Structure 1
Amino acid sequence: MSEYDDVCVLLPTMDEVETVARVVEAFRNAGLDGVLVIDGGSTDGTQEAAREAGARVVEQSGRGKGQAVREAVRDHIDAPYVVMADADATYDAGDVDAMLDPLLSGEAVHVIGNRFADMRPGAMTQLNRIGNRLINLSFRAIHGEQYRDILSGYRAFTRESFRRLHLTADGFGIETEMAVECVKNRQSVAVVPITYRERPGGSATNLHPIRDGGVIFLELYRKAKTNNPLFYFGSLGAISTSAGALMTGYVLYDWIVNGIPHEIIAIGAVGAATLGIQLLIFGFLADMILSLHREQVARYERAVDDGSDR
């Protein structure tokens, strides 16, 4: 009987025939017999290769990595602990002990593998490195937590904690959304160092840096609406107020210097400034409401804990 009988390894795949078998075998050799491959309809033999390597294979009903992860945890996994990884052989199955230790010890309910702790040469292009750094800095600025590598696809979490996250992203934004939801739900998160390797020759990435990077930035900003409303509405208000101030400056300059009035622009300037100020005020009010809500939730949780201890 393995010490990891309560753990399921989740591998979302899409045309990963070159690497999926070695990834499945690596995790099985590490002592994790429960490997689930959820496939997005590969046509290159990925599903057959995964089955031959000993994985349980299901085909997802929708499209995209995010939808695959949600469907797998909701409908196909009964184990209380889940290890999520990519099937491209960039992650080291030997790191799974470090990934699971915080879960099994009760230190955390969600674990993120930090790829930057041991990133091998060629594992990530310079453009992707810069993009990852910018996204992590933005996450820290917007959501107030330092998870070091929120885009890491190597995760471990309890099935129960995952089901409490409100996840809607269908594509590669799922990792970002999981990080934001962990902050929003105040889940205990551990970050552990892992090895990140170059993709083996012959395998192609499904990631499009510019397109998917834009989606991730938008996801970070969109999620600020409920997790950091002061930033979300405040930034919109600042932009609108600044636009109003610039238009006002132009109208005054052209009127004073050239004697040319701009009534329409002046009306637009007043409208933009008024909207901006209202958004700033709304941001402050929303932030106060969110703070009070979190205090009430904390009090309720303490009351429940005190009641269960009696």
Structure 2
Amino acid sequence: MLSPKIAVLVPCYNEALTIEKVVKDFQHHIPEAEIFVYDNNSKDATVELATKAGAIVGNEKKQGKANVVFRMFREIDADLYIMIDGDDTYPVECIREMVDQFIENNCDMLVGDRLSNKSYKKENKRAFHNFGNNLVRNLINIFFGSELKDILSGYRIFSRKFVKNYASSIKGFELETDLSIYALHYGLAIEEYSINYRDRPEGSVSKLNTFTDGFKVIKLFFNLVRLYKPLLFFGMVSIVLFVLGILFMIIPIREYFEYQYVYKVPTLIFSIMLIIVSILSLATGLILDNISIIDKKNFKVRYNNTN
């Protein structure tokens, strides 16, 4: 059996302090892999240092991690893709074991799980990140019936089929959430590998904003629930509107039975409107759910036909 062609994908923005080490670590631990560093308008020496270390360097002018990864997925040809950040927070020494697990279990995506290991809480100095990770993980596991431990990890391995079929309209650090939900929605084979996480070295600055990026991730989650589980989303909206409609209707109904006349006509009209919109919302969910089922079937055909 021929060994798979492995590509290491390192999207970068101002990682001059660590990029050389990341490249050399991969060269040492998995020398047969081609290492690609794609720069995203860095203002420091990231490009020069990555080139010096022996990486194949490309660039993406559209700002945002997702834009960089999309270009890498589109331009790089391999059998197996390893995605990792260039900040040296993820361990490379375990990559051989991760690749072996990925191949042996015929995965579509393998995630480097930081949260099962106590090192993440110890090393990560941003308390709200821990809270955000747990919140997003719990929401996704509840809505998609999964048991994933780390939704937001940037350390992943993908199959060629996954990479060549993946599509999204996001731009930035919501990428990991989108990748996880995409795989869950289409029933792809996902596994996790527990890793030791370490915080950025002194002098290296994170590009993440805890609250701004956290809000984007939560917003993306609900947009993806609307897209991938329309009956659940619009069904919940329908129930809320229907209950509100019934509550607003209580007053005019009580008036009618008490006085044989409705004085609060605007309230009655508003309640009827809420109930009508509730029914329309449910109908929308049913229609979109059927479309989603057809999309899943078409995706499976495309996925299985990908070489």
In structure 2, relative to structure 1, the CA distance for the partners of 1:285 and 1:11 (3 Å cut) is same
CA contact (8 A) 1:143 1:227 kept: no
**1:128 is aligned to 2:145:** no
What residue ranges of structure 1 are gaps of 5+ in the alignment?
A: 306-310
Shift of 1:129: 0.9
CA contact (8 A) 2:4 2:80 kept: no
CA contact (8 A) 2:123 2:198 kept: yes
Structure 1 counterpart of 2:229, one-letter code: N
Q: Tell me the equivalent position of 1:172.
A: 173
In structure 2, relative to structure 1, the CA distance for the partners of 1:28 and 1:268 (3 Å cut) is same
Shift of 1:123: 1.7
Q: Tell me the equivalent position of 1:308.
A: none
The correspondence for 1:262, drawn from 243, 257, 264, is 264
Q: Tell me the equivalent position of 1:60.
A: 60
The TM-score normalised by the length of structure 2 is 0.86
Q: Tell me the equivalent position of 1:14.
A: 13
Q: Tell me the equivalent position of 1:115.
A: 114
Shift of 1:107: 2.4
Q: Tell me the equivalent position of 1:157.
A: 158
Structure 2 counterpart of 1:85, one-letter code: I
CA contact (8 A) 1:165 1:185 kept: no
For residues 265 and 124 of structure 1, the distance between their equivalents in structure 2, rounded to whole angstroms, comes to: 52
1:77-92 alignment runs, 5 A limit? 77-92=76-91
CA contact (8 A) 1:153 1:175 kept: yes
**1:214 is aligned to 2:207:** no
CA contact (8 A) 1:4 1:31 kept: no
**1:146 is aligned to 2:147:** yes
Structure 1 counterpart of 2:266, one-letter code: I
For residues 123 and 86 of structure 1, the distance between their equivalents in structure 2, rounded to whole angstroms, comes to: 15
Structure 2 counterpart of 1:176, one-letter code: T
Structure 1 counterpart of 2:281, one-letter code: L
CA contact (8 A) 1:5 1:34 kept: no
Q: Tell me the equivalent position of 1:193.
A: 194
Q: Report Cα offsets for 1:7-58 as digits up to 9, x if no partner.
A: 1111111111111111111111212452111111101111112112221111
Shift of 1:69: 0.3
Shift of 1:271: 0.8
SS in 2 for 1:113: strand
SS in 1 for 2:142: helix
The TM-score normalised by the length of structure 1 is 0.85
For residues 49 and 247 of structure 2, the distance between their equivalents in structure 1, rounded to whole angstroms, comes to: 61
What residue ranges of structure 2 are gaps of 5+ in the alignment?
A: none
In structure 2, relative to structure 1, the CA distance for the partners of 1:48 and 1:293 (3 Å cut) is closer
Q: Tell me the equivalent position of 2:28.
A: 29
SS in 2 for 1:145: coil
Runs of 4 or more above 4 Å deviation = 249-257, 288-298
Shift of 1:168: 1.8
Alpha-carbon RMSD: 2.9
